[in-house]
Amino acid sequence: MKNLLSGISKANGALLENGELNAVLSKLVAVLGASTDVDRCYIFTNKMVDGQLFLDYTHEWCSEGIEPQLDNPDLQNISYEMVPGIFEELSNGRHMYGKVADSDNSYFREAMEFQGILSYLFVPIFYNSLFWGWMGYDDCTVGKIWESHEADALFSVANNIGLRLTREKAERENSLALERFDLSVKGSQQGLWEWDIVNDKLNYSVIFMEMIGYQHYEFEHNYENWKNRVHPNDYPIVEIALNAYLKKQLPSYSSEFRFLHKNGYYVWVRGSGVAKWDADGNPIYIVGSHLDISQLKYQQEYLEVQRNEFNLLLNSLGEAVFRLNNENQITFLNNYWKDISGHDTRECMLKEIDSYFLEEDVEAIRENIRKLKSVASQRSFIEVRLKHAKGNWRWVQMVVKEFGNPGENDYFIAGSIIDVHDKKLAFEKEKELSELKSGFVSLTSHQFRTPLTVIFSNIELIEFYTEDVDPVLYKRIRKSAGQIKGEVDRMTELMNNI
C-alpha cells in the first residue's frame, strides 16, 4: 500500500507539471503501473465518429517481459461492442475490477482471456462531466486481487486527470482568447494604457507610443505628463468625464480630445477605460485604450462644411422643398416653407402634407400621390391652392418624385412647392383679355364682311346692266368696278388674316 500511495503522489505531481499533456500522461501510466505491481497500465480515449463512439489506445506502460501493444492497429478505432459491458459501467462513473474468471459477462470474460489477462481494474476519466476515456490496469501473471481502497485511490487519480484536462482546455481557450484579443487590438490600431492610480504610474502600449511619435523611453509615464499634452481646450472636458467615472457617477470613462504629437501637431484621440476599486470604493487602477480618430474628425469637419453649404443652398431656393414618408407625412421642410405657408417647419413634422391645402384640392393631391406610387413615373405635377397660416391662400405648383419601393423602410417622396399664384392670375387675366379680343374681332369681322359683300354684289350688277347700254360707259364702269372689287378682296383678305 505504501508503494501505491507513493506512486499516486508522484502521479499527482506529474499532473501538476506544466509539460505537454501526452508526455505527462505517459509518465503517469509508467509511475502508476510500477507502483501497482501490474503488467500493463494504459489509457483508452473516446472519440466520436459519424455519431458513434470509438476507442483509441493512446498511452501504455508494460512491465518487463510483456509485449507492448501501443502500436497495435487492432487497438485503434475500437467499437465498445468489442468490449461488452464496459461502456455501461464506466460511462456512469463506476469503476470495474476483479478476476477475469469471476466475471458473469461471458463475452467480456472471453475477450479478456483471449488477451491473457487474469485480473483487471478499469477507472473512468471524466472532464467537464463528459466521459473522456478510462485507465486500465492488467495483471497477466499472478491474477492480482484488487482491494476496494486501491480502486478508490486510483479512481481519485483518474479524477485528477479530468482536472488536468479541464485546465488544459481552459489554458487553450485563454491562450486563444489572448491571441484574438492581441490581433483585434492590432487590427483596430488601439493604443492600450494602464494607470496605477495609487503609485501614479502610467504604462502605454507600443501602438500608443507610435500614435504620438515617441519611443517608449522618451515619454515620462505619469499622469501629469499625460495631462500636459492634452489640448488646453479639451482637458476640462476630459477631467470632468474622468472624475465623474472615478466617483462612480458614470458606468465607464470615455472622451474625445486632442493629444500633442512629438512633432508639434495634435492628434484627435478617443479615450476610454474601466477601473478597479478597493474594498472601500477607492479606485486602484484603470485600464483603457486610445484610438486615433483624426481622420474621422477631418471627415466629420468636411461633411459639416458640405452639409452647411447644402443647407444654405437649399434654404436659398425660391421654393419649398419637402420629403414625405410612406404615410405621406412630412419628415423634412426647408426654410422657404414658412415664407410661403406661414407655418413653422418644426410644427409641421409628421403631419400629412395635404392638410395644408384647401379642402377642394385635397383629394386631387392624394390621387396624384397614389398614381405616383402605383405607376412607374419620373415625377408628377399638379397645381393646387396652399392655405396660409393667416387664412388666405395662394396657387402653387406641387412637384413630387418617389425614391425606393413603396412599403419598404427606405421609401420616401421628395418634392417642391412653387408659388405660381401671380403667374396663375396673370394667365387667367390674359386668357380673359384674349377671349374679349377674339369676340371683338369676330364681331368686327362680321360687321365689315356684310357691307363688303353688298358692295361686291352691287358692282357686279352695275357691270351686268351697263354692258349693253353704252360701250364707252361700260368700259369706264368696268375699269372702276375692277378697282372697287380689288379693294373689296383686299379688305376681305385682311379680315381673314385678323
pLDDT at 448: 63
Q: Is residue 188 over pLDDT 60?
A: no
Among 198-202, 292-296, 487-491, the range scoring the smallest mean pLDDT is 487-491
Residue 42 — pLDDT band, cuts 50, 70, 90? very high
pTM tops 0.85: no
pLDDT at 95: 93
pLDDT at 265: 94
Closest CA to 234 of 250, 256, 260, 262: 256
d(CA 294, CA 267): 6
Per-residue DSSP letters for 446-464? HHHHHHHHHHHHHHHHHHH
Bridge partners, residue 402, by sequence: 413
Burial 445-454 (b: 16+ CB within 10 A, else e): eeeeeeebee
At the fourth CATH level, the homologous superfamily of domain 2-171 is GAF domain (3.30.450.40)
pLDDT at 134: 94
Q: Is residue 409 over pLDDT 80?
A: no
CATH 3.30.450.20 fits 189-298, yes or no: yes
Q: What is the pLDDT of residues 24-35, one digit of tens each?
A: 999 999 999 999
Q: What is the pLDDT of residues 74-99, one digit of tens each?
A: 888 888 887 778 899 999 999 999 99
Q: Answer whether 2-171 and 189-298 agree in fold.
A: yes
Q: Is residue 377 over pLDDT 80?
A: no
d(CA 15, CA 135): 15
471 vs 267, more confident: 267
d(CA 246, CA 265): 30
Helix axis angle for 421-466 and 471-497, nearest 10°, is 170
Q: What is the pLDDT of residues 448-482, one digit of tens each?
A: 666 767 677 777 777 666 766 667 676 777 777 77
Residue 38 — pLDDT band, cuts 50, 70, 90? very high
**Which ranges of 213-293 would DSSP assign to H, the alpha helix?**
223-229, 235-246
Q: Is residue 485 over pLDDT 80?
A: no
d(CA 257, CA 263): 17
- A 10 A CB-CB count for 467 gives 13
At the fourth CATH level, the homologous superfamily of domain 317-419 is PAS domain (3.30.450.20)
d(CA 310, CA 198): 52
- Average confidence (pLDDT) over 227-234: 94
Distance, C-alpha 271 to centroid of its chain: 23
Residue 105 — pLDDT band, cuts 50, 70, 90? confident
Distances (CA, A) of 225 to 9, 201, 283: 55, 11, 20
Residue 396 — pLDDT band, cuts 50, 70, 90? very high
- Quote the DSSP letter at residue 202: E
Mean pLDDT in the chain? Answer: 85
Residue 404 — pLDDT band, cuts 50, 70, 90? confident
CB 165 within 8 A of CB 127: yes
The domain ranges of the chain are 2-171, 189-298, 317-419, 434-497
